Structure 1
Amino acid sequence: MRKNWLYCIGLTALFLLSGCDNHQRDADSALILEGRTMGTFWRVSLAGVSPDRREKLQKQVQQRLDNDDRELSTWKPESVISRFNRYRGSEPQPVSDNMADIVTLSLRIGQKTRGEMDITVGPLVNLWGFGPDKQPIRIPSQAQIDAARALTGLQHLRVIQRSEGAYLQKDLPDLYVDLSTVGEGFATDHLARLMEQEGINNYLVSVGGAVLTRGKNAQGNPWKVAIQKPTDKENAVQARVDLQGHGISTSGSYRNYYELDGQRISHIIDPETGRPIQHKLVSATVIATTALEADGWDTGLMVLGEEKAKALALREHLAVYLIIRQGNGFTTWMSPQFNAFVLP
């Protein structure tokens, strides 16, 4: 369930930061920090910050993201979440407040999407070759899918808050929690908190396909983000938004896939069927107060498909932008809340 990446930092992606077609000008007018984390890339753009702070800030950002990765990554055998996944008992296991917050939000959104945003879908993600396991050489059988589905379910996972700290508990020994669908949003928010702690009020931070902004850019204008057209053959802008200090995240089915037995296998797995999604919704973008919340909603909306995603966005008053495949082209839909962020 990896998210799309940022084209502005040299990757094929869904978001293009405004002005990224002139990367040198951006670099000349703002302090740019970059690096790798969680199998993707991070980027920090700072306005009004002395270049003398580059080395210290670069180290602080990388250290914070490395710590997050050691908590959340299913690709690291000794991460906190990997140890929890290996645990076969039912006793509550201590976790950080950060992880408790991530799981609590994920469970809430999972309930709102009727289980379509499911952080326990890891066995199915692995079965289809999008986790630490190798890509399959043939389409999984129905028996394999059913066996993996039997190991999933949000009802098997609980967050427990006690005076001495937070805990996770599972009542299914083989329950496997995969936080990759929300990890980038959480890490982006974490970078924003770091900037605030450092007294920096004008910034754009991003990890993978999650972005959050505060204040103004180096020209004194609002930070802007462009949503790319859903194709891997061009980097054309679909819409531009002013985040107004919010977070944004997109889930899309057209970048992360592979071909197997003549079929296109998307990385987005429907927990109900246990199979990659097949409908015509190709991307869902969400703007929310935090990047974590935006990151949590977008995958659930993608799994739901066009009509159910629209209904949920209206019911929950979400700022949502959908791109739907129609014949050889695409149509778009946005909720009233999203329209407030769109630039002419």
Structure 2
Amino acid sequence: MISACVWLLFLATVAGCGEHGPEIVGFSGPTMGTQYHIRVIAGETTPDAPELQARVDQRLVEINRRMSTYDPESELSRFNTSESDDWFEVSAETAEVVSYSLGLARDSGGAFDPTVGPVVNLWGFGPGKRRTKPPTDDEVEAALARVGHTKVEARVEPPALRKSPGVYVDLSAVAKGYGVDAVARLLDNAGATAYMVEIGGEVRTRGTKPGGAPWRIGVEAPSDHAPAEGGQRVNRVVELSGGSVATSGDYRNYFEYEGRRYSHTVDPTTGRPVAHTLATVSVLAESCMEADATATALLVLGPAAGYDWAVERGVAALFVTRQADSDEEGHAHSDEFTTRATAAWDAAQPEAPAEAQSEELP
């Protein structure tokens, strides 16, 4: 499934304290094939940073051991390799995430589909070997025969999953967002008064920085060319004092063959990388899992259908689209982009000043 490949920059102070204000404590570490970054303002009962980080690390390891397809011994991997079509017992949180994913799959007409793993892996964007050229049509059709959200069931109580033979569930497009939410709940329970949690570009916040300023997150401007040294730039600054933002994009993870670029954004309904002009989508939501998964669905739907879907549901979404002529298969590459926001996004995020939008990423 699609990972959130658009980088976000924290424009907040990494750590700061003053004689008359609380301290922002920051720490980071590896998880889910990427990095997490946390900025937190501790409350009276919050443990010190080393203990808090140890708890965060332990929680993220627990989620990986349940939902990672890169760990052959994870709960999800064992479910995927099971040949039984009976109920397979899983943890409550795995059942919750799969159940949510299946609901979004139905609502998006299959644009988001947690069973898309076989075709994603076939195109070289999964745990296996990378590809240097596209698979054959016959290979795509064979993999696509194993895809379909109606081939999986999730039961919340008692928690269990059931699938048709050969079906493979991949939660890559939602697990990072769920991990952010899980860490946020951990910080809430630890007595934190405010925080910003990020995993692989997916962000959730609570409260404000010392002095009352919101957390500021810079969404990177897309580019179809490798950036010059220090050349990543901010497209839009998001200010949050609660809630989440997640971004999905198609321009960082791809391969080229005979002059054409094949993105890791695979359409579950066709089994092939999307070929429209939408470069990135950012979504605001209370839950980071919801923002993460919805951004993926909108990126697959494309600039027109995705925008209409978001407007109909009141989704706060920001679409960044290439301005270029497509080739005969619809592939488009350009460094000219236009931005279009839904009314819900504009209501939540008035456009930031131009000088903030042009600030460079480190």
Q: Using structure 1 for the length normalisation, give the TM-score.
A: 0.91
Cα distance in 2 for partners of 1:48, 1:37 equals 23
Cα distance in 2 for partners of 1:130, 1:294 equals 22
Contact preservation (8 Å) 1:3, 1:209: no
Higher deviation after alignment, 114-123 or 233-242: 233-242
**1:47 is matched with which residue: 16, 37, 41?**
41
Contact preservation (8 Å) 1:243, 1:341: no
Contact preservation (8 Å) 2:196, 2:205: yes
Q: 1:54-93 maps to which residues of 2 (within 5 A)?
A: 54-93=49-88
The structure with more helix, counted as a fraction of residues:
1
- Residue matched to 1:332: 339
Offset from partner CA, 1:153-205 (integer Å, 9 cap, x none): 0000111233xx211011x2110000000010000000000000100020000
Give SS of 2:94's match: helix
Q: Do structure 1's residue 26 and structure 2's residue 26 form an aligned pair?
A: no
**1:17 is matched with which residue: 10, 19, 23?**
10
Q: Do structure 1's residue 161 and structure 2's residue 151 form an aligned pair?
A: no
Contact preservation (8 Å) 2:40, 2:196: yes
What is the total number of aligned residue pairs between the two structures? 329
* Shift of residue 264, structure 1, vs aligned partner: 1.3
* Shift of residue 96, structure 1, vs aligned partner: 1.2
Give SS of 1:31's match: strand
TM-aligned CA distance change 1:39 to 1:55, over 3 Å: same
Contact preservation (8 Å) 1:91, 1:169: yes
Give SS of 2:56's match: helix
Q: Do structure 1's residue 321 and structure 2's residue 318 form an aligned pair?
A: yes
* Shift of residue 219, structure 1, vs aligned partner: 3.8
Cα distance in 1 for partners of 2:94, 2:218 equals 30
Contact preservation (8 Å) 2:248, 2:295: yes
Q: 1:235-250 maps to which residues of 2 (within 5 A)?
A: 235-250=232-247
Offset from partner CA, 1:99-127 (integer Å, 9 cap, x none): 11111111111111100101100000110
Q: Do structure 1's residue 300 and structure 2's residue 297 form an aligned pair?
A: yes
**1:227 is matched with which residue: 211, 219, 234?**
219
**1:189 is matched with which residue: 181, 186, 192?**
181
- Residue matched to 1:22: none
* Shift of residue 277, structure 1, vs aligned partner: 1.0
Identical residues among aligned pairs (%): 36
* Shift of residue 48, structure 1, vs aligned partner: 4.5
- Residue matched to 2:200: 208
* Aligned amino acid, residue 188 of structure 1: V
- Residue matched to 1:3: 3
- Residue matched to 1:269: 266
- Residue matched to 1:8: none
Contact preservation (8 Å) 1:93, 1:168: yes
Contact preservation (8 Å) 1:85, 1:176: yes
* Aligned amino acid, residue 206 of structure 2: R
Give SS of 1:91's match: coil
Give SS of 1:246's match: strand
**1:173 is matched with which residue: 137, 140, 165?**
165
* Shift of residue 275, structure 1, vs aligned partner: 0.8
- Residue matched to 2:190: 198
TM-aligned CA distance change 1:52 to 1:200, over 3 Å: closer
- Residue matched to 2:249: 252
Cα distance in 1 for partners of 2:239, 2:37 equals 18
Contact preservation (8 Å) 1:4, 1:209: yes
Q: 1:283-294 maps to which residues of 2 (within 5 A)?
A: 283-294=280-291
Contact preservation (8 Å) 1:4, 1:255: no
Flag structure 1 segments of 5+ consecutive residues without an equivalent.
6-12, 20-24
* Shift of residue 49, structure 1, vs aligned partner: 5.9
Q: Do structure 1's residue 144 and structure 2's residue 139 form an aligned pair?
A: yes
Give SS of 1:26's match: coil
Offset from partner CA, 1:254-285 (integer Å, 9 cap, x none): 11112234321211101121111111000011
TM-aligned CA distance change 1:160 to 1:229, over 3 Å: same
Q: Using structure 2 for the length normalisation, give the TM-score.
A: 0.87
Contact preservation (8 Å) 1:247, 1:287: yes
Cα distance in 2 for partners of 1:340, 1:241 equals 12
Cα distance in 1 for partners of 2:244, 2:305 equals 23
Q: Do structure 1's residue 341 and structure 2's residue 348 form an aligned pair?
A: yes
